Structure 1
Amino acid sequence: MTGPSLGIARPRRADGATLVCLFVVVLLFLPARLAVAGLPLSLTPAEILALSLGVVWICAQMISTTGAAKGTNPVRTSIFVYGLLLLAVYGYTTSLYLPSDELNLADHTLVLYVGYVSLVLMVCDGIGTRERLDFVLKAAVIGGTFAAAVALMQFRLDFDLTQYMQLPGLRHSSAEEVPTVISRSDLRRVSGTLGHPIEFGALSAMLLPLAAHLGFQARSRGEGAVRWWICAAVIAAGLMFSVSRTAVLGMAGSGLILLFGWSNRRRIAALGAFVVFLGFMKVLAPGLLGTFYNLFAGAGDDSSIIYRTHDYPFAMREFARSPIFGRGPGTWYPFKHQVFDNQYLLSLVETGLIGVIGFVGVIGCGIVVALRVRRMSTDPNVRNLALTIAAGLVVPLLGAATFDLLSFPGITSVLFLLVGAAGALMRFERADQAGRLLLSSFHDPADRSRSLIVLTGNGQGSARSGSS
């Protein structure tokens, strides 16, 4: 924006996208083990920021001058329903007897879910334009690249940068018992700035399609795309350094979605880049590809898979005790109960059928909305972004069957971020269609020009018309 007479550039005012970017940076740049000191609950800086987003969203909904979207949106409806279901589970289970430790964990878990709901609402309603949504997604990719760079140092140099990333006012949370580097087949499994290698691998699988989208989009606009391809390469390497089956399964699932939706030219380019990447990894980390092959070839005899499946009957017995509402969110925890490396089983036990249905429903809604935007739009970049968001949301849908995904705030936050992004895209596309319909109703070019000014005035047209 420039001044009316001096032509001096004015700084952009902070908006919803600015706040979400701040959240993303804190989430992915700070080690997951750092919590704010002095609080009765163990909350990370990112979790406090997520709760703050909810306060901002509520305040913005009370007035009409901020550009925050109002009106119907499938994503907003789904996250409201999910939040109400979790509140019902919490109310029912805490009305019964719970040991003090489990009651405290139920309180803590409810606070975390309030933050996740707030994040979805702010992304869905508080981002005014597609350019600002791109800004948020770029921040997520850069954050994932930083986490992958830390993982590279952990894997290749055996140097853990997170041990030196201490800030005043922060302390180690109870998650510090889980090491950032774990051994598997004479290789290091690394987690970057995240809480566990599996979480880091699944998160990399979610962010890799976004990095590729930014590269394709920059090239189509005639902008510099090299930086985004570098980000994609670093994130892909981080995915491999996690040495995680979950990451590979997630990447395979999202890759299939992308390959079905991409053009033949893009498919060939992607497959060629994949072959080159495998060759690069063969040189950079000898033995890594063989380890991945053995993870899948010997899956039938793998102790970790046997451990994941042997507890199914036990989980079903616990589920049968309270099949509708479960025993309480967050109340089934390690060191006291048997660990379920399966989020669907864990949710069945903790939140019952309604919790699982709500969880799958939110992800499914994000995927369906994104694919619907892809059908509605004629802009190739918007269509590709919608496909990318749908592909990214397939990763947690698959990954939830292989580890307790909702126990890790990093990947859970990015999951809800993408769901909110699908809702924002739907709002932008509806606004564009409403604008085109309005312009087509005017026969006088002067009337069309005046209407266009009203729709796009001050850069807030998308947010305001999206609420109609």
Structure 2
Amino acid sequence: MGKHLRVEPALRPTALIDAPTQFGYGNQGTPLLLRATAAACFIFPSNMVLEPLGAAGYVAHVLALLVFALWTTSVMFGLHQTIDREHPGRAVLAALFVVSCASYAAMYVGISGGSTDATRASADRWMLLMVASSGIVLMTTETTRTVDAAMQLVRALLFGAVFCSLVAAYQFVAHADPMAWFQGLMPGFKDNGGNQPFQERGSFLRVAGSTFHPIELGVIASMLLPLALWRALYDHTGRKWMHWAGTGLIVFAIAATISRSAVLGVLTVAFVFLPFLPSRSRQWTVLGFLGAAVLLFLAVPGFVATLFGTVTAGTADTSITARLEDYPRVEAMMSARPWLGIGPGAYLTRNAIEVLDNQYLKTIVEMGVPGFLALLAYMVVPGIAAWTAAFKAKAERLKTLAGAVAASCLVAAPASAAFDFLGFPVVALIYPFCVGLSGTVWLLVADERRTSRPTTNRQGAHPAESERQP
């Protein structure tokens, strides 16, 4: 009788989820610096800056630059090996970075026309944002290599988001800003201004929480809502009721901004994420949102009517007509410099009428058509990649995570048409975390699909067949 050929059993589809070091990319968790950066985006007010660094010197931005420095140093000294497989998020970020560098160089050598100290300083801040975003995206994808590690990072993001939502709830009820008290506890920092914690809309004060502006809070809260739902469903640490209470606070923060962009974000989340929820969870989620709407209607008279009126105002709203009037002006500026624009971040305004409340229009002016295409890819491709991964994933926990990440990323695409998305400091750093998680789920699903394929013996026979051979 011949000897049986030894055949290793195929790895389970969930092997990568259970074993952090299965393929050599894993770790025991995301780095503390990365998680601290995620929470700092919300906890430390971004209008408080270190004076020598100027507007780029707020805490979260400095930490993000340290993340990039840590990643670069680790790679240079061989302490960390970069992932040898491409993922769409990294590719589109690289494209935006390259176009930014080309436009930046053109501005400094005079190809883009004249520049001033102010426009050059603004361009410098844009390039620092690109560096900080790159650090977050790269570190997130390359260290968050299991679903458990993703849960760690999501907890850090939601810790900051719940803190911000608590601030927003206090602002909405008390009409006072507790972040003003917090700023007094930051020695060495100065108030750089620009933040708007309150803004009137109808008979209500829309609030910003610990972010820069109510619109920014509404977009961020809608971005993180699917991740909050995923965490509430699958996080077995801590108390379940606290996870759901945090999710409820994020929903309240969305409503308290009385923002069209936030409503659009919630609709995007519903379209993208709900199909990937388990059927029972999907039913309870829909019922929960309906219950929240009824509760707001009963508890805050006139609130739902104001929100509905804001969403359906159309061209009767002066903010919408002002945005429509931007297009002829942008077309003229873009036609003058279609390829490299006037320089990244170099469009500065003298009055509110000239503000471009549209990141796509602002980018096409500053970096031309290539910049617009790169930005569009940066805002759309990571979400599509995560959505594709969600369809292909087999393990429920991973599938739901991929769907949540897809929804988080895709909120950014329509939001960028409603305001200058990357000009707001908190959302500009939160989005790279979503892009990084898009790379994580893309690679996790690719590994899951690879390991779930049946292995063959050296003669090409299926394992079951080889065991029957004499």
For normalisation by structure 1, the TM-score amounts to: 0.86
Once the 2 structures are TM-superposed, how far is the Cα of residue 260 of structure 1 from its aligned partner?
3.7
1:429 aligns with 2:448: no
Q: Secondary structure at the match of 1:206?
A: helix
Aligned partner of 2:264 in structure 1 is 249
Once the 2 structures are TM-superposed, how far is the Cα of residue 84 of structure 1 from its aligned partner?
1.1
Compared CA separation, residues 266 and 130, structure 1 to 2 (3 A): closer
Q: Name the CA distance, whole Å, in 1 between partners of 2:280 and 2:146.
A: 30
Could you list the per-position Cα deviations for residues 365-417 of structure 1 after superposition, in whole angstroms to 9, with x for gaps in the alignment? 21122123223321111101111111111211011111111100211211111
Q: Name the CA distance, whole Å, in 1 between partners of 2:413 and 2:322.
A: 21
Which residue identity lines up with residue 247 of structure 1 in the other structure? A
Q: Secondary structure at the match of 1:328?
A: coil
Aligned partner of 1:179 in structure 2 is 196
Aligned partner of 2:418 in structure 1 is 402
Aligned partner of 1:168 in structure 2 is 187
Compared CA separation, residues 263 and 306, structure 1 to 2 (3 A): same
Aligned partner of 1:270 in structure 2 is 285
1:416 aligns with 2:432: yes
Is the 2:50–2:58 Cα contact (8 Å) retained in structure 1?
A: yes
Compared CA separation, residues 17 and 128, structure 1 to 2 (3 A): farther
Aligned partner of 1:321 in structure 2 is 336
Query: 1:25 aligned to 39, 54, 71, which one?
Result: 39
Q: Secondary structure at the match of 2:52?
A: coil
Query: 1:300 aligned to 315, 319, 322, which one?
Result: 315
1:258 aligns with 2:277: no
Query: 1:134 aligned to 151, 155, 170, which one?
Result: 151
Q: Secondary structure at the match of 1:182?
A: strand
Is the 1:42–1:173 Cα contact (8 Å) retained in structure 2?
A: no
Could you list the per-position Cα deviations for residues 42-81 of structure 1 after superposition, in whole angstroms to 9, with x for gaps in the alignment? 4211111111111111122235554653443332222222
Which residue identity lines up with residue 67 of structure 2 in the other structure? L
Aligned partner of 1:374 in structure 2 is 390
Is the 1:214–1:225 Cα contact (8 Å) retained in structure 2?
A: no
Once the 2 structures are TM-superposed, how far is the Cα of residue 16 of structure 1 from its aligned partner?
4.4
- Say what the alpha-carbon RMSD is for the aligned residues: 2.3
Aligned partner of 2:69 in structure 1 is 55
Could you list the per-position Cα deviations for residues 203-234 of structure 1 after superposition, in whole angstroms to 9, with x for gaps in the alignment? 1110111111111224xx69843222111110
Aligned partner of 1:457 in structure 2 is none
1:225 aligns with 2:244: no
Is the 1:60–1:68 Cα contact (8 Å) retained in structure 2?
A: no
Of residues 33-42 and 316-325 in structure 1, the stretch that sits farther from structure 2 once superposed is 33-42
Once the 2 structures are TM-superposed, how far is the Cα of residue 300 of structure 1 from its aligned partner?
2.6
Query: 5+ unaligned residues in a row in structure 1: which ranges?
Result: 1-12, 449-468
Is the 1:68–1:128 Cα contact (8 Å) retained in structure 2?
A: no
Aligned partner of 1:356 in structure 2 is 372
Once the 2 structures are TM-superposed, how far is the Cα of residue 434 of structure 1 from its aligned partner?
4.5
Compared CA separation, residues 283 and 30, structure 1 to 2 (3 A): farther
Q: Name the CA distance, whole Å, in 1 between partners of 2:409 and 2:86.
A: 22
Once the 2 structures are TM-superposed, how far is the Cα of residue 14 of structure 1 from its aligned partner?
9.0
Compared CA separation, residues 256 and 149, structure 1 to 2 (3 A): same
Compared CA separation, residues 265 and 436, structure 1 to 2 (3 A): closer
Which residue identity lines up with residue 417 of structure 2 in the other structure? A
For normalisation by structure 2, the TM-score amounts to: 0.85
Which residue identity lines up with residue 342 of structure 2 in the other structure? R
Is the 2:65–2:132 Cα contact (8 Å) retained in structure 1?
A: yes
Could you list the per-position Cα deviations for residues 276-313 of structure 1 after superposition, in whole angstroms to 9, with x for gaps in the alignment? 10111123322110101111333231111111112211
Aligned partner of 1:458 in structure 2 is none
Q: Secondary structure at the match of 1:340?
A: coil
1:84 aligns with 2:98: yes
Compared CA separation, residues 222 and 108, structure 1 to 2 (3 A): closer
Which residue identity lines up with residue 242 of structure 1 in the other structure? T
Is the 1:370–1:422 Cα contact (8 Å) retained in structure 2?
A: yes
Number of equivalent positions: 427
Aligned partner of 1:155 in structure 2 is 172
Is the 1:120–1:420 Cα contact (8 Å) retained in structure 2?
A: yes
Q: Secondary structure at the match of 2:206?
A: strand
Q: Secondary structure at the match of 2:130?
A: helix
Is the 2:172–2:205 Cα contact (8 Å) retained in structure 1?
A: yes
Superposed, which structure 2 residues align to 1:282-301 within 5 Å?
A: 282-301=297-316
Q: Name the CA distance, whole Å, in 1 between partners of 2:308 and 2:348.
A: 32
Which residue identity lines up with residue 168 of structure 1 in the other structure? P
Aligned partner of 2:356 in structure 1 is 340
Q: Secondary structure at the match of 2:228?
A: helix
Aligned partner of 2:230 in structure 1 is 213
Larger Rg: 2
Aligned partner of 1:9 in structure 2 is none
Which residue identity lines up with residue 74 of structure 1 in the other structure? P
